[in-house]
Structure 1
């Protein structure tokens, strides 16, 4: 559905009808710097088709905007520029990264944003830009830059939240008092969240560089600002790579800990089995009931065997203790 539709001239909002055709006509009548800004949230195919016909949008771009689930990209068509971006949200309590999408259609006298997903950072963007006419006077290019900048700033917030949780995970795993047995599951859960961030940020760097180098309907004055956004994307990509390596190191360390613990457990089991084997062996010998076993007929025979069992077990116990087997 259409969330907002407004016309602007020289960086300021002007009076215009609320319908698309009327707003566009008012923007064009205001002068060469006039443009209309339309915001849509999860429109149906019929709604977007009507808007596409009004602004002569390419059918393939309209189809991408309806279906969503697009890879971040920039595509130039005859009458418009199409930019697809992914939005991210992070909920530390549930350790879940949520993904949405924003598509931007840019033309000579219009800009249209199509949002999918609840975690959109664009809620207050229009009001913020209307408070800054100096920036908004660059027209659709200023809106495109602000949308990209706001979304990438959201990436940085998500990366910071993930990094904090990963630091806590690392400290917890190497804590001597930890009781969590599903450590590998937690690590793989975080790797899935990092992968979600990578899918959004990794493919975005090249489109942002393409916009910075110059694209149709993007004013040259916007190039330095888009370059700054591309730098932020590169920084986030570096953070994501670092978090992925950290998770791999944590997983390897955890597997090593598990292996060491299993070895310790096996040594303890083996040591106790050896201690139990000595009296079992001696008792087995005297349980064979041979007639010619002289010590069976001695008064000291029984206590001597008990003392022998005790001494051998104590010696083995001390040896195992010295070698940290017990």
Structure 2
């Protein structure tokens, strides 16, 4: 679906233009065209391929979707793929933004995402001196907008992790639920990391050293994006390490709880073993057994068993087993 198709000249908006006129505007001097598509069909992709003379391999990647974040050069043009990561309730959904950038055009193709980039276009149009830098600045603005949306997700992951850590030590039971939440959190962190790490490599090729001509004037901006990605990657590594530690702590606490239960069971088993031992000896009823005919034999036997059991209970209690 076509979202926008606009022509700009010297950083200022000329007008919305029909798709079939794109190739004509591309011939004009100091003019570039910015087109935005969302979940386009095959026919729309083919039209854009003809109007912008795009490489068929890049078109195939944009149409297929679910590509790894990357930056590829096709002659003087570049093709950039970025993952759009967004929260839907408690789950993460991953979409894709594919951007074709040439000397005088930018074509963005958004797939499987509800997030729009109308704010990016409005911001660029408010800064004609920046928009005058052409396709390189638009590419930066789009990638920067995606990266900036990673930060709230990292904040959410860190907040959820802190909440789980508090529950690990406050809950005596239900550690299984904590482990399940930790593994789910680890999965989310891994999803975001898969979007960030490859993009770091791609953005790293857009500043410093030999860079594509399209972004020659915007290297400093991409260096800033790379710095943001580096910070996000560091925070994700810290979250991952903390999750691994939290899982180990949780498993250790489960083992400690099981050991405490085993101690209690062993203590009570030892106490009741006294009853069994005394009852087994005095219950044999041999004819010449001592105290068998004694008047106070039965209460004396019960008292002896109670005293020994009480003594054992006190010892186990003092040792922390009960």
CA separation in 1, counterparts of 2:101 and 2:269? 76
Residue 320 of structure 1: which of 293, 301, 316 is its match?
A: 316
1:229-240 to 2 correspondences below 5 Å? 229-240=225-236
1:29-68 to 2 correspondences below 5 Å? 29=28, 31=29, 33-68=30-65
- Structure 2: which 5+ runs fail to align? none
The alignment partner of 2:149 has SS state of: helix
What is the CA deviation profile of residues 207-261 of structure 1, one whole-angstrom value per residue up to 9, with x for unaligned ones? 1010113433423220001001001111100010000000001001001101111
1:122-141 to 2 correspondences below 5 Å? 122-141=117-136
1:178-197 to 2 correspondences below 5 Å? 179=174, 181-197=176-192
- Report how many aligned residue pairs link the two structures: 321
- Structure 1: which 5+ runs fail to align? none
Find the counterpart in structure 2 of residue 242 from structure 1.
Answer: 238
Residue 279 of structure 1: which of 275, 280, 301 is its match?
A: 275
1:106-125 to 2 correspondences below 5 Å? 106-120=101-115, 122-125=117-120
CA separation in 1, counterparts of 2:16 and 2:113? 29
CA separation in 2, counterparts of 1:313 and 1:139? 89
TM-superposed CA distance for 1:159, in Å, is 0.8
What is the CA deviation profile of residues 269-299 of structure 1, one whole-angstrom value per residue up to 9, with x for unaligned ones? 1111111111122112222232221211111
For structure 1, which segment, 171-180 or 188-197, has the greater mean C-alpha deviation from structure 2 after superposition? 171-180
The alignment partner of 2:5 has SS state of: strand
Contact 1:16 1:26 (C-alpha < 8 Å) held by counterparts:
no
* TM-score computed with the length of structure 1 as normaliser: 0.94
Contact 2:154 2:235 (C-alpha < 8 Å) held by counterparts:
yes
What is the CA deviation profile of residues 161-215 of structure 1, one whole-angstrom value per residue up to 9, with x for unaligned ones? 2111111111121225665541111110101001101100011111101011343
The alignment partner of 1:104 has SS state of: strand
Contact 1:5 1:38 (C-alpha < 8 Å) held by counterparts:
yes
Find the counterpart in structure 2 of residue 25 from structure 1.
Answer: 24
The alignment partner of 1:294 has SS state of: coil
Contact 1:88 1:119 (C-alpha < 8 Å) held by counterparts:
no
CA separation in 2, counterparts of 1:107 and 1:202? 25
